[in-house]
Amino acid sequence: METPAAAAPAGGFFPSFLLLAFGTLVAAVLGTAHRLGLFYQLMHKVDKTSTRHGGESVAAVLRAHGVRFVFTLVGGHISPLLVACEKLGIRVVDTRHEVTAVFAADAVARLTGTVGVAAVTAGPGLTNTVTAVKNAQVAQSPVLLLGGAASTLLQKRGALQAIDQMSLFRPLCKFCASVRTVRDIVPTLRAAMAAAQSGTPGPVFVELPLDVLYPYFMVEKEMVPAKLPKGLMGRVVFWYLQNCLTNLFVGAWEPRPEGPLPLNIPQASPQQIQRCVEILSRAKRPLLVLGSQALLPPTPATKLRAAVETLGVPCFLGGMSRGLLGRNHPLHIRQNRSAALKKADVVVLAGAVCDFRLSYGRVLNRKSKIIIVNRNRDDMLLNSDVFWKPQEAVQGDVGSFILKLVEGLQGQMWASDWGEELRKADQQKEQTYRDKAGMPVSQHLNPVWVLQQVEEMLPDNALLVVDGGDFVATAAYLVQPRGPLRWLDPGAFGTLGVGAGFALGAKLCQPDAEVWCLFGDGAFGYSLIEFDTFVRHKIPVMALIGNDAGWTQISREQVPRLGSDIACGLAYTGKGSEFSRPSWASVILLGGPSATVLTYFLLDYHKAAIGLGAQGLMLSRDNEDQVVKVLHEGQQLCQAGHAVVVNILIGRTDFRDGSISV
């Protein structure tokens, strides 16, 4: 027989169930109210009469962060922020391709130590930037990309140029956010700017939908029907749209902090510094390899240079650290890096990475003691315990580490014979370059000789931008930057097409510098149209094109290995003086100098530049004795405010035979 006590739990089930169901319903209602912004609307107001717009909030944050330039290719999705930037005195520079805008922002970031900013329209405007954003990621450059987007309610509904932009940029950026209300613009941008510069710097992306950027009255006109619909469902939809509009603008113009947030920059611990001091103090043949991270804030280049000079260790400079010690400094070793690394007993890799540039670490001597410092742990330990092993791995800021290392060593000196040995090997290698410069080529000008002339006449205030393969790689051996932050190359991603954007950003950052661009003829194809940009914005830069009518860096390997020059040739196809050259691919295939002689015409890059409003000059064997004179003429035109292209016809040498391109 069932007792009352046993029946009690069954009788209490229904009240418990009802209580649970009621609690679930209340939670769902409260959650929905929160998502609809109803609670926030109770405490904040919407100014329906205001003509202000979200673009003004974007511009205010940029100005508060010291941004001086915004690079763009205009589109209706982003017009409000561009207009607002202009009103606040931020210079808006429009380019002919979105990728150029991001490259220009990248250059600003590298040269100023702040965030470079580019703004592009939705869809294809953003997809056009992907290569430049990836290049900035690999180069660890703090770039803020602002992207337009379809209105929040029209996303995933087939709106014009609407794609899933967030999924596209998440793998490329440190920080990605889509702003959903006007009040979120300021805090989102502040967080993005801090993320770009903290830790390992890199690009960040903020998506700004149309309805977040435009003023209330315009958004209302597009979003909410002018008349209240009939019927229950129509009224529900009307209320929903009205609420979305209110939530977009509620609290939009309340004062908020706009300035920079604190940055998180990793630092080496005192214990790590002390261990590195002890290792280096016992070295007989120390070597320092500086990479791009050494030039990152907060350590100024001048202070870092003084520390390296005080340290007194022979060093190799790469990436953005090129030029740190100026020209012909006794501590700067430029040649025979692999041999030097094999002989060194202690190597300090300060921002350098054991990737393909250091043969994945195989170039290091296993008996050497390796100290490596890097902000990024993955980069720091790349290929370790495979081809090399660090004695001390320090995750921290490179510049600060060098300063503390010098302080700990307290002026210790090393025997001079090690440095003398390296400098003597340097001089011998450079003599071989002089010998190659004097060797005749079958046609046109010897590129080694041309670049030696450039090196001799390059002014002290020159800023070098390099974009290309064979010609630029040759220049890296021969042309020395005159000081810190005066050399811009793509970085480890090896991207072609950076030249115009880098030159644009560089000249705006350093208007008193002479910006000299060294282009391969293949790479110049990406940048030619941007000479219209230089002319329109009165940006005087000087471009030198090493024109050998081919993708020579690739053909050096492809032809001897695979027996074909397919896709490696750039035909001379303009109007101009006719000349002949032997087809070097045919020489290899047919096995002798009797190969077919093909006829080509001069490709008039300089005349194309003239057509865009720039100045154009040409150098060839016909005016070989006037090379310096023509370069000086181009320099004077540039100083007078003109963008200049010097088309230099060059022949082939064996200077880089054996160099890899993969």
**484-492 mean pLDDT:** 95
Going by pLDDT thresholds of 50, 70 and 90, the confidence category of residue 599 is: very low
Task: Give Cα separations from 442 to 392, 439, 520, 569, 591 (angstroms).
Answer: 52, 10, 19, 17, 18
Residue 581 has pLDDT above 90, yes or no: no
Q: Answer whether residue 497 shows pLDDT above 90.
A: yes
Could you tell me what percent of the chain has a pLDDT over 70? 89
pLDDT in the model for residue 603: 77
pLDDT at 118: 98
Cα gap 332→334, rounded to integer Å? 6
- Give the tens place of pLDDT for each residue, 361-406: 999 999 999 999 999 999 999 999 889 999 999 999 999 999 999 9
pLDDT at 562 over 50: yes
Taking phi over 0 as left and psi of -120 to 50 as alpha, with beta for the rest, 89 belongs to left
| DSSP H helical ranges for 215-343 | 216-223, 232-249, 270-281, 301-311, 337-343
Cβ-contact 324, 294 below 8 angstroms: yes
Better-scored residue on pLDDT, 66 or 592: 66
Model confidence pLDDT, tens digit, residues 414-444: 889 999 999 999 999 999 998 888 888 888 9
What digits encode the pLDDT tens for the residues 3-56?
Answer: 554 445 555 666 776 777 666 766 666 667 667 666 666 677 888 899 999 999
Position 573 scores a pLDDT of 47
Write out the two tokens for 660: 């890899």
Give the strand pairing for 204-209 and 286-290: unpaired
Please report which confidence band the pLDDT of residue 592 belongs to, taking 50, 70 and 90 as the band edges.
very low
End-to-end CA distance of the chain: 87
- Looking at the chain, the whole-number percentage of residues with pLDDT higher than 90 is 71
Q: Does 590 score more than 60 pLDDT?
A: no
Tokens of 95: 């380019």
Task: Flag whether pLDDT at 593 surpasses 50.
Answer: no
Across the range 550-555, mean pLDDT stands at 87
Indicate if the pLDDT at residue 609 is higher than 70: yes
Average pLDDT over all residues of the chain: 89
Express each pLDDT in 40-99 by its tens digit: 666 778 888 999 999 999 999 999 999 999 999 999 999 999 999 999 999 999 999 999
Q: How far is CA 572 from CA 110, 448, 527, 577, 604, in A?
A: 36, 22, 18, 10, 8
Q: Region 604-616: what's the mean pLDDT?
A: 95
Burial code (b: 16+ CB inside 10 Å, e: under 16) for 329-345 equals bebbbbbbbeebbeebb
Looking at residue 659, its pLDDT comes to 62
* Main-chain dihedrals φ then ψ at residue 470, nearest 5 degrees: -65, -50
Comparing 18 with 459, which gets the higher pLDDT? 459
CA distance linking residue 55 with residue 76, whole number of Å: 12
Over residues 598-622, the mean pLDDT reads 84
For residue 588, which phi and psi values (nearest 5 degrees)?
A: -70, -40
What is the structure's pLDDT at 235?
Answer: 79
Phi, psi (rounded to 5 degrees) for 355: -105, -150
User: Average pLDDT, stretch 407-411?
Assistant: 89
**CA atoms of 89 and 46, how far apart (whole Å):** 28
Which pLDDT value is given to residue 591?
35
Express each pLDDT in 281-293 by its tens digit.
999 999 999 999 9
Tens of pLDDT, residue by residue over 119-164, are 999 999 999 999 999 999 999 999 999 999 998 887 788 787 888 9
Looking at per-residue pLDDT, the higher value among 555 and 355 belongs to 355
Three-state secondary structure of 62-126: HHHCCCCEEEEECCHHHHHHHHHHHHCCCEEEECCCHHHHHHHHHHHHHHHCCCEEEEECCCHHH
Containing H/E element for 626? Answer: none
Q: Is the pLDDT of residue 653 over 90?
A: no
Please say if the pLDDT value at position 209 is more than 50. Answer: yes
Q: Is the pLDDT of residue 2 over 90?
A: no
